[in-house]
Amino acid sequence: MATDLASDIEYLKSLQAVRERSRIVLDGARKGSLNNFIYDESRMKDTAEFVAGVISRDFGPDRYAEIPPHGRWEHFSIGGVPRLENLVQKWQDEGVEDVEITRRLIDLFFVSVLLDAGAGDTWSFREPGSDKSYGRSEGIAVASLYMFNDGAFNSAADGNKSAVDGRALSQLTEDAFIRHFQVGPQNPIVGSASRIELLNNFGKSLLTIPDVFGETGRPGLLVDYLLKDGKDKDLNYETLWGILQRLLLPAWPSNRPKINGQPIGDAWPLQLLQDAAGENKNPTAGFHPFHKLTQWLGYSLTVPFMKVLKLKWINIETGTGLPEYRNGGLFVDMGVLKLKPEVLSQGVKASGQALPLFPSTGDVIVEWRGLTVALLDELHTLVNGILAPQGVSLSLPQLLEAGSWKSGRELAAKYRPETRSSPILIDGDGTLF
């Protein structure tokens, strides 16, 4: 039994579990047995046409192949400034080799993504030497880039200011974060303390895995680990996934669920799954895993390998859609999902305003996230069907980048122009989304 439980816990950490558990939730939606939402499948056609229209507007008729996978890279170009491309060019001009450039980008992407939980509706970063300010995910990207370039994530252990190491991360203070991110009473950000706790824990975890990240715990040494079989071989996304789970599971906040004393990451109990499990006493059966921030990081980390080292990835299709408020908001704003009246009423009462508010790990949000993962797979099929006559077939990460996430954001701006918030508000600690 102990061995079976151990394997079941490993299953919860897998990408396969994220997708398979989401299908159970979608099956429940089709049967009308959801606890919190009403599912209107007839609205999926209009949703797919809207998303396909956004993609065609931005990449048609002959630029579909240029759509990058969903990742952090594009966020650094907010305002039309190619910040990463400029940085890479600077390094090349200094004679830095491509492998070291890739290490530096991986260093940057790790810290930038782990800081990239929802910033709230008011925070923004004013770029030095500019009159431009940027909020939300792109603002965090730009702020983290300046913080990285200042050497804030480096203990000077190797004299390379453009490197990150575990010691510096483990000792990073909230004051340093507040200063670099321009946080203040008039510019608050959600969850600053929890973000720094995450980076501190991440730094400590890096130092426990010297076989991958070296004695200094440098994230960029992941490059050397993945290239150890040669620079001309395709990289395996499942290998990357295993490393990320090994690295990050001990770093997430300690109040996250554990089973048999083991952390299971971004995985939460869901009433629908508990009901479906019936008499099954296995403690893992009622949990829905998502691993959203780890998946967002995984997708992001693939890009420097492709852009700088011109390498390809296999098995990246095992990744799922990302269950966060832009993708989830798309399905709510398009009428695919609607909160049940009594649930909506509870959420409005909790928020004290027009939009409902729910705890990030409660049953409403977990059910919404499970539906989002499954519906993104459905949307992927439908959108590719619409684009097929043009000879276009997008990967899921491409759909996330050019379609669902962008569409969710545009609908939020249309329906809630003052805040551009999600149609459902999430009460969280800044480390989940």
Give dist(CA 126, CA 110) in Å, integer: 22
pLDDT at 1: 44
Give dist(CA 426, CA 372) in Å, integer: 15
Amino acid at 417: P
Secondary structure element (H or E) that encloses residue 145, with its range: helix 136-149
pLDDT at 3: 59
Strand 258-259 relative to strand 287-289: parallel, antiparallel, unpaired? Answer: unpaired
Give dist(CA 328, CA 336) in Å, integer: 10
How far CA 426 is from CA of 35, 314, 355, 407, in Å, comes to 18, 35, 10, 19
Partners of 426 in the beta sheet?
358
Q: Which long-range contacts (CB under 8 A, 24 or more apart) does 338-343 make?
A: 338/37, 338/38, 338/40, 339/36, 339/37, 339/38, 339/364, 339/424, 340/34, 340/36, 340/37, 340/38, 343/36, 343/37
- Locate tokens 């003052």: which residue? 418
pTM listed for this prediction: 0.94
Give dist(CA 396, CA 402) in Å, integer: 10
Of 123, 160, 154, 157, which is closest to residue 138 (Cα–Cα)?
A: 123
Cβ contacts of residue 375 below 8 Å, gap of 6+? 26, 44, 321, 331, 336, 337
How far CA 347 is from CA of 350, 351, 423, in Å, comes to 5, 6, 11
Give dist(CA 358, CA 335) in Å, integer: 19
pLDDT at 2: 52
- Angle (CA) 63-65-70 rounded to 5° is 110
pLDDT at 122: 86
pLDDT at 255: 86
pLDDT at 31: 97
Cβ contacts of residue 224 below 8 Å, gap of 6+? 99, 103
How far CA 216 is from CA of 40, 85, 170, 208, in Å, comes to 52, 27, 12, 10
Q: What is the largest CA-CA distance in the chain?
A: 64
pLDDT at 24: 97
Q: Which long-range contacts (CB under 8 A, 24 or more apart) does 278-284 make?
A: 282/4, 282/5, 282/8, 283/5, 283/259, 284/5, 284/8, 284/9, 284/11, 284/12, 284/259
Give dist(CA 371, CA 355) in Å, integer: 20
* Alpha-carbon torsion angle 382, 388, 392, 395, nearest 10: 30
The dihedral built from the CA positions of residue 416, 417, 418 and 421, taken in this order, carries a sign that is positive
* Alpha-carbon torsion angle 251, 254, 257, 260, nearest 10: 90
What is the phi/psi pair of residue 359, to 5°? -65, 140
pLDDT in tens, the chain (433 residues): 455 899 999 999 999 999 999 999 999 999 999 999 999 999 999 999 999 999 999 999 999 999 988 999 999 999 999 999 999 999 999 999 999 999 999 999 999 999 987 677 789 999 999 999 999 889 999 999 999 999 999 998 667 789 999 999 999 999 999 999 999 999 998 888 888 999 999 999 999 999 999 999 999 999 999 999 767 789 999 999 999 999 999 999 888 999 999 999 999 999 999 999 887 778 999 999 999 999 999 999 999 999 999 999 999 999 999 999 999 999 999 999 999 999 999 999 999 999 999 999 999 999 999 999 999 999 999 999 999 999 999 999 999 999 999 999 999 999 999 989 999 999 987 677 6
Q: Is 125 helix (H, G, I), strand (E, B) or coil?
A: strand
219-254: b (≥16 Cβ within 10 Å) or e: bbbbbebbbeeeeeeebebeebbebbbebbbebbee
Helix 192-206 with 98-114: angle, nearest 10 deg: 140
Partners of 338 in the beta sheet?
38
Q: 3-state secondary structure string, 176-233?
A: HHHHHCCCECCECCCCHHHHHHHHHHHHHHHCCCHHHHCCCCCHHHHHHHHCCCCCCC
Give dist(CA 314, CA 306) in Å, integer: 12
Give dist(CA 76, CA 377) in Å, integer: 27
Query: Are 416 and 354 a contacting pair, CB within 8 Å?
Result: no
- Locate tokens 């998946």: which residue? 295
